[in-house]
Amino acid sequence: MGILIPAWVDGALVPVDKLEAHEKGLKHKAVSVFAVRGMDILIQRRALGKYHTPGLWANTCCTHPDWDESASACAVRRLREELGITGLYPEYRHRLEYHADVGHNMVENEVVDVFLAHVRGPLDLNPNPDEVMEIRWIGYHDLLAEVKRYPEKFTPWLKIYLHHHADTIFGPDLIISAKA
C-alpha cells in the first residue's frame, strides 16, 4: 500500500491509497497553494515522473493531506517538499470541489482547501526534481491569456481555479488590478 489520504467511501471518511483514490475517482481531500508577489503568481511545471499530468503547468504547489494532518500544516509541508520554501505561512482562502479527468484512466474528485501565500521579500526556491521540472513567476493577466491560448499546457485544476474561483482565491484587489 502507498500513501494513505482521506477519502469518502460509502459516506464515511476513511484512509485510502492515493493511487486507488484517483483510479476509482473517489472523492478525497486535497490542498492547493498559490504564492503571489504583487501581481505575479508562482507556477510550477510538474515533473515528467508524476503519475498523472506530468509536464503540465500547475499552481505553486498541491497535494493531499496525510490522514491525520490539517490542511494548513499540509500547505506549509508541501511548499517545503516541492519547492524548498520555508518561512511562508499561507492563509486559507476557500474550500471548493472539482471533478476532472487527468488522463491514464484517473480522475481527480477533490475537496480542496485553497491557500494564498503573500511573498513580501526574497524567496529562496529549491525545487525538488522528483516533483517539479520548472518554475516561473507570471503576471495574473498573462497567466489567464496563456491558459486561454495554450490550455493543453496546464493542469485541469489550474484552469478550474482560474475560470471559476479566481475572485475567491485571489480577492478583488488582484483581479481588479489585473483587469486595469
Q: Is 64 annotated as a binding residue?
A: yes
**Mean pLDDT, residues 46-62 taken together:** 95
pLDDT of the residue at 175: 55
Give the cell for residue 38: 504583487
110 is an annotated ligand-binding site residue = yes
1 has a pLDDT exceeding 80? no
DSSP 38-93: TTEEEEEEEPTTSSSSTT-EESSEEE---TT--HHHHHHHHHHHHH---S--PEEE
Kindly state the average pLDDT of the residues 21-48: 94
Domains observed in the chain: 4-179 (3.90.79.10)
pLDDT of residue 173: 59
Which residues are annotated as catalytic? 62, 110
Whole-prediction pTM: 0.92
pLDDT of residue 174: 62
On the CB side of 96, CA atoms within 13 Å amount to: 22
Contacts of 60 (CB under 8 A, 6+ apart): 33, 34, 35, 41, 42, 43, 44, 79, 83, 117
The verdict on whether residue 81 carries a ligand-binding annotation is no
Q: Is 108 annotated in some ligand binding site?
A: yes
